[in-house]
Amino acid sequence: MVKTHVASLGPDTLAQVSPPFPAANASIDSKPPIIAIGASAGGLDAMEQFFAQIPAVSGVAFVVIQHLDPHHQGMLPELLQRASPLTVIQAGDRMHVKPDWVYVIPPNKDLSILHGKLHLLEPLAPRGLRLPIDAFFRALADDQHERAIGVILSGMGSDGTLGLRAIKENAGLAVVQSPESAQFDSMPRSAINAGLADIVAPPSEMWHKILAYLGHSPRGLHVVPELAVALKGRSALEQIVILLRERTGNDFLLYKKNTIYRRIERRMGLHQIDSIAKYVRYLRENPQELDLLFKELLIGVTSFFRDPGVWESLKSEAIPALLTEYPAGKSLRAWIPACSTGEEAYSLAMIFKEVLAESQGRQPFKLQIFATDLDQDAIDKARQGFYPANIVSDVSEDRLSRFFSVDGSGYRIKKDIREMVIFAPHNVIMEPPFTKLDLLFCRNLLIYLNQELQKKLILLFHYTLGNHGILLLGSAEAIGNAGHLFSVIDNKSRIYRRIGTPFSLNVDFPTKYFPVAAMVEETEKHPPIANLQTLADQLLLQHFAPAAVLVNADGDILYISGRTGKYLEPAAGKANWNIHAMARDGLRHELIGALSKARTQTEVVRIPGLTVATDGGCQTVNLSVQAIHKPDALKGMLMVVFTDVATPPAGKSSRKSPNAAQKLLRAELVQAQEDLQTLREEMQTSQEELKSANEELQSTNEELQSTNEELTTSKEEMQSLNEELQTVNTELQIKVEDLSRASNDMNNLLNSMEVATVFLDGSLNIRRFTSHISHLFKLIAADVGRPLSDIVTDLDYPELQQDAQEVLRTLVFVEKQIRAGDKRWFKVRIMPYRTQDNLIDGVVITFIDISETKKLEAELRKGNEQSE
């Protein structure tokens, strides 16, 4: 074989069988890509065609997963070895995966991978529905990420579909055999219908397409350094984000850059494009590629009861504790943003049903779940509530029997669970949230967003949750520095309970998000033009008003007015905006007492004549501190005012005599007292006027505050009602379309059968009839609702009314041959009308024309009589 003699080949010959990737790139990433091939019935021929195209030295490792009889020693390694120059062996426990080797799963074993080593596991059940392909694909995606490549070949069932979803989520490659080339196309079609296939091709063409992808993928074997540099340029990314926004209406600028880079790189590798500029041009010329890239960014791994420990904690602790907060019962509300295809929403509905069944309480609890996602296709699939048979790996037999019904080759959610969930398209970043929630599950969404947006969404989630509300995050997510807003229920499972705050939070609602503004250069922004009054106010504050600072109860500076450099200076070391740390010598100790005293009284605390050490010497200062009680927005804060005291010039003596100076000083004092008295009277008058005006303003403010509270409450109720109406309206529109389609189908079916039919309700009044009934009854559209016995008929059937009533009573159908006018005969059949709930709601009467049959019968009878 070629591989056994590589060492003996010359340099020229060795170059011909070496990997088609530059040797210089080998040091960039020594781990080879791993191709996992999943196949079932009819997969041997497809695998032989696939491996026949692969050279002896490829630089890639292969793992084959096939459905095998647990009690039969397979010969797959020997059969594949005949068709491939690669080394083919049966996989062993803790075997390290090496390039240019093929590892085949042994019978009666499950296969997994960890850190590039294969691990053999005992199967949970020796027989029955086993999903080894899904299990290995998932493990490969978690272990190898973008180096994972999944291949689905011929097979029955849907094994491998969920695993391919995991591979795509981790930026791997999904390859599927074209159904027309497969002996059994169920597995390939399942993956294609799920929208997971990146490459669809016959087995003989797969390797060349995979090779082309690896040769151009920045995360494959052939790394293009220029691409990584160009791709991470801001302008290139923004161009793609703008194109996506114009096409889909969604802005991805606040997503983590690495996530977007990986998805873009992957699409470029599929199209063998090695320049970001070329890919931008390709996007502009091919709008369908924008749709595919959008889908790529939204790919999410989801399954029923993902992370079972989390659901067990919810069932045993979090949800029962929430129910105990409402002894009289309650209609609870839950929101699951980024719900994908609905598995998590239905899982919550099932868990809630189980908690209610175990509590055996009589309190009327209900749960309404709002499940939303950006992907309209995912929402449509979730609404159907139909899932493939391979969900048995995630859902227990008991839950399958209680909450699902078998539907063809899969399972469908039962009606009582489906009615608990409302699905709707929604953008959690750009659209208003649902409010007054008791449960909010946001798992593995925040990890794709940057830290700024994560913080905003955590605050938003706190706002949307009610008291005692529960927040569930993904295993790689946390509430960060919002520990004062949530208490921990289960830190390992990332389950938190909302904590109420005595003050309102500065929540940025999604309607305020304009991420594209980040693309505008600072030089393009123009400062607003201030009016004359604003400029004058600023001038007065800067030059004539005393220096002051606004602080909170802890002394943190919130606002500065005027020049405070003579009294405050930044402390050395880490920036600290606390007034105690910034106060200069001569102020620090007095400030502590003044602030403490001001918090306990309504009067102003004044400390005159303080000497403050400044950079240029000393300064005498009068210190005033007052607690603020109004307006409510500043309540609890304190205003600290610094007033300079003029120092008399030193070294100058008065030339006047002591007596003259004393007389002059007395005269000035008398005049000052008179002026002061006059000023006091004016200030008292002004104070009384201000007090009166303040009382009026306070009364008006209270009325406005009361009105504002009423408006806020009404706005929240209207917003909540509008959200529910929008989501319900979406579902109703879909149901109306389904009903209209079904009605059209039924009308066309009844008319095409050319059988006269009339539907009667429980009172034997006309409900519906086909057009052919006009040959027997003189019916028009206005006759709907009238008794059939009131309608003129050509039938000689006076017992029709009695027979219909008898069928309603006994539920046994009646069939008779009745004569009509013009020598016509009809077979009349009266049957009960059954609803989908197996209830009897009237009768159905059909009239089949048997005139020709009767005519032939009469002729035959006449012929027999003549022959006799």
* DSSP 8-state assignment for residue 255: B
User: Among all chains, which residue has been given the structure tokens 């989501």?
Assistant: 727
Domain harbouring 320, CATH code:
3.40.50.150
| pLDDT band, very low/low/confident/very high, at 136 (cuts 50, 70, 90) | very high
Examine residue 581 and state whether it is found in any structural domain, yes or no: yes
Contact (CB, 8 A) for 789 and 763: no
Last residue of a domain, which of 622, 644, 666? Answer: 644
Sheet with 840-849, side-by-side order of all strands: 766-769, 756-760, 840-849, 824-834, 814-820
> How many Å apart are CA 161 and CA 159, to the nearest integer?
6
Contact (CB, 8 A) for 618 and 591: no
pLDDT at 352 over 60: yes
Over residues 813-840, mean pLDDT = 86
Same domain? For 159 and 31 the reply is yes
> How many Å apart are CA 769 and CA 780, to the nearest integer?
9
Same domain? For 595 and 738 the reply is no
Q: What is the pLDDT of residues 221-275, one digit of tens each?
A: 444 444 444 444 456 677 787 778 777 777 777 777 777 777 788 788 777 787 7
Examine residue 617 and state whether it is found in any structural domain, yes or no: yes
> How many Å apart are CA 557 and CA 568, to the nearest integer?
11
Q: What residues does 30 pair with on adjacent strands?
A: none
Same domain? For 403 and 324 the reply is yes
User: Among all chains, which residue has been given the structure tokens 């970043």?
Assistant: 429
Check 100, 134, 159, 803 and give the catalytic one.
Answer: 159
Indicate if 67 belongs to the active site. Answer: yes
Same domain? For 273 and 356 the reply is no
Check 40, 303, 340, 347 and give the catalytic one.
Answer: 40
Provide, for the chain, the percentages of residues in helix, strand and coil under a 3-state DSSP scheme, each rounded to the nearest 5: 45, 20, 35
Over residues 351-362, mean pLDDT = 84
Examine residue 680 and state whether it is found in any structural domain, yes or no: no
Residue spans of beta strands (DSSP E) within 420-530: 421-425, 437-442, 465-473, 486-490, 495-498
Same domain? For 477 and 548 the reply is no
Same domain? For 265 and 324 the reply is no
User: Among all chains, which residue has been given the structure tokens 């690896």?
Assistant: 214
According to the model, what pLDDT value does residue 508 have?
A: 65
Indicate if 29 belongs to the active site. Answer: no
Examine residue 688 and state whether it is found in any structural domain, yes or no: no
Same domain? For 250 and 283 the reply is yes
| pLDDT band, very low/low/confident/very high, at 349 (cuts 50, 70, 90) | very high
pLDDT at 728 over 70: no
Same domain? For 775 and 816 the reply is yes
Q: What is the pLDDT of residues 70-121, one digit of tens each?
A: 666 667 888 888 888 899 999 988 899 999 999 999 888 888 898 888 988 8
Same domain? For 183 and 41 the reply is yes
Number of structural domains the chain divides into: 6
Same domain? For 67 and 180 the reply is yes
Indicate if 373 belongs to the active site. Answer: no
Residue spans of beta strands (DSSP E) within 80-237: 87-90, 95-96, 101-104, 110-114, 117-121, 148-152, 173-177, 199-201
Q: What is the pLDDT of residues 789-803, one digit of tens each?
A: 888 888 888 888 889
Over residues 834-851, mean pLDDT = 86
Examine residue 227 and state whether it is found in any structural domain, yes or no: no
According to the model, what pLDDT value does residue 575 have?
A: 63
**Structural domain for 317, as ranges:** 308-512
Examine residue 674 and state whether it is found in any structural domain, yes or no: no
Sheet with 117-121, side-by-side order of all strands: 95-96, 117-121, 110-114
According to the model, what pLDDT value does residue 524 have?
A: 37
Same domain? For 481 and 370 the reply is yes
Last residue of a domain, which of 598, 624, 644? Answer: 644
Over residues 483-492, mean pLDDT = 88
pLDDT at 362 over 80: no
According to the model, what pLDDT value does residue 11 have?
A: 32
Last residue of a domain, which of 598, 623, 644? Answer: 644
pLDDT at 577 over 50: yes
Amino acid at 653: S
Q: 14 vs 357, which has greater pLDDT?
A: 357
pLDDT at 497 over 80: yes
CA angle centred on 231, ends 228 and 236, rounded to 5°? 165
Same domain? For 765 and 746 the reply is no
Examine residue 524 and state whether it is found in any structural domain, yes or no: no
Burial class (CB in 10 A: 0-12, 13-18, 19+), 79: middle
Examine residue 657 and state whether it is found in any structural domain, yes or no: no
Over residues 445-461, mean pLDDT = 84
List the one residue out of 33, 419, 10 whose CA is nearest residue 213: 33
3-state SS assignment for residue 575: coil
> How many Å apart are CA 174 and CA 336, to the nearest integer?
28
pLDDT at 21 over 70: no
Report the chain's mean pLDDT, rounded to a whole number.
79
Domain harbouring 768, CATH code:
3.30.450.20
**What separation, in Å, do the N-terminal and C-terminal C-alpha atoms of the chain show?**
92
Long-range contacts of 312-315 (CB under 8 A, 24+ apart): 313/489, 313/490, 313/493, 313/495, 314/351, 314/472, 314/493, 314/495, 315/351, 315/354, 315/355
Check 67, 216, 222, 462 and give the catalytic one.
Answer: 67
